[in-house]
Amino acid sequence: MLIRGKSSVFLGGFAITLAGAILFSTKAIFVKQAFRDTGTDVLSLLAVRMLFALPFYLAAAFYFSRQKENVRFTGRQWVLIILLGILGYYLSSLFDFIGLQYISAGLERLILFLYPTFTVLLNMLLFRQPVTRRQGLALALIYGGAVIAYLGELNISGFGRDIVTGSLWILLCAMTFAMYLIGSGRMIKQVGDKKFTAYAMLAATAGVLLHSLAVNGEQLIIIKPGLIWYGLLLAVVATVLPSFMIANGLKRIGSNNVSIISAVGPVSTILQAHWFLGEPIFAGQLAGTALVIGGILLIGWKAGSGEGKEIGSKGENNSGAESEKRNKTENKPN
C-alpha cells in the first residue's frame, strides 16, 4: 500500500538523502587512494574531478534551459547561485582535499559532520527556524557518537601537528558546506533542485579551473599515472550522482533534516576506510557508530504515520511545485 501525502514526500526525501550521503562518503576514500597511488597534488586532483563532472552539468543546464516551463534567473538569483556553488563545491572541496593530506579518512568524516550543528544553529539564529524535539535528540545522539569515535581515533593515532592542521582544514570545510546547505535550501525552492545544482556546479568548476590555471599555468593539470581513473570515480560516483540526490532531498525535507540524515557519512566512510585503506576499526568507533545510526533512525521513525510535518522544517516540506509556479510569475520566460 502506498503512503500518500506529506509522509510519502518525507520518506522519499529520507531515502534519497541517505543514498546521496553514502555516495558522497566515497569521496574521502577515492581522494586518499589517489594521493597514495598517484602522488598527485590537491589542485590537479580537484581539477580533474570537476572536468569529468563538467559534461554532466553542462548537459543538465542545456536540457533545463530548453524546457517550455523554463524561466530566466533574476540577476540576484544568478549572483547567489554562483556564490553558493563556489562556497559549497569549490572552497569546501578544496579545504577537504587539503585536510585529507594530513588525517585519516575516518577522522575527516567525523570532523566534517559537525556541519549539521552549524546548519541547525544558523537556521535558528538567522531565520528563527525552530529545532524540534526529535531533531534535538537526534543531534545529541549523533554528536555524542561522533565525539566518542573522535576521542578513540586520537587514542589510536596520537595528537600531533598533522592532526591539528588537518582537523582545522576539515573544520573550515564543514563550516562552508553548512552555509551552502542553508543558502541552497532557499534557492532550490525558487528555481528547482536540478536546475540549481547544474548551474551551481558549473560555477564551482569554473572556480576550480581558474585556481588550477593560476597555480599550474597552461598545463592546468599535472597528469600522473592513474589520476584519470580516480578523477572519473570522483566525478561520477562521489560528485554528480550525490549532488543531484542531496539537492532533491533539500527540496523534499529541508536543510535541517538533510544535514542530520547525512550524518550517516562518517559510518559509511569508517567502514570503507577499513575495507579499502586498511584503517583500523576500534571500540570507540563502534560505540560512536551505534549512536550515529540511532540518531539517523530517529529522524525516519514514524515518518510513515504522518509525522513528516513535525520533523520537517516549516515551509520546506513542499515538493517544490508551488515555488516553481511562483517563480514563473515573477520572471520572464526565455
Mean pLDDT on 187-210: 90
CA 17 – CA 19 distance, rounded (Å): 5
Helix, strand, coil in percent for the chain, rounding step 5: 80, 0, 20
Q: pLDDT value at position 295?
A: 76
Q: How many CB atoms lie within 10 A of CB 322?
A: 10
Q: Which residues of 97-117 are buried (b: 16+ CB within 10 A; e: fewer)?
A: bbbbebbbbbbbbbbbbbbbb
Q: Residue 288's pLDDT band (boundaries 50, 70, 90)?
A: confident
pTM of the full structure: 0.77
Greater confidence (113 vs 97) lies with 97
Greater confidence (309 vs 176) lies with 176
CA 330 – CA 189 distance, rounded (Å): 13
Instruction: Indicate whether 326 pLDDT > 50.
Output: no
Q: pLDDT value at position 154?
A: 77
Q: Residue 318's pLDDT band (boundaries 50, 70, 90)?
A: very low
Mean pLDDT on 20-30: 92
| pLDDT tens digits along 223-270 | 788 899 999 999 999 988 998 898 888 888 887 788 778 778 777 888
Domain segments of the chain: what residues? 6-315
Q: pLDDT value at position 300?
A: 56
Cβ atoms 153, 287 nearer than 8 A: no
H-state helical runs in 217-301: 227-235, 241-261, 264-272, 283-300
Cell digits for 4?
A: 500518500
DSSP code for 246:
H
CA 104 – CA 100 distance, rounded (Å): 7
User: Cα dihedral sign for 200, 203, 208, 209?
Assistant: positive
Q: Residue 311's pLDDT band (boundaries 50, 70, 90)?
A: very low
Burial class from Cβ neighbours inside 10 Å (0-12, 13-18, 19+) for residue 286 reads middle
Instruction: Indicate whether 331 pLDDT > 60.
Output: no
Among 176-180, 280-284, 317-321, where is mean pLDDT lowest? 317-321
Q: Which residues of 120-129 are buried (b: 16+ CB within 10 A; e: fewer)?
A: bebbeeeeeb
Phi-psi category of 158—alpha, beta or left, where left has phi over 0 and alpha has psi -120 to 50?
left
Identity at 243, one-letter amino acid code: S
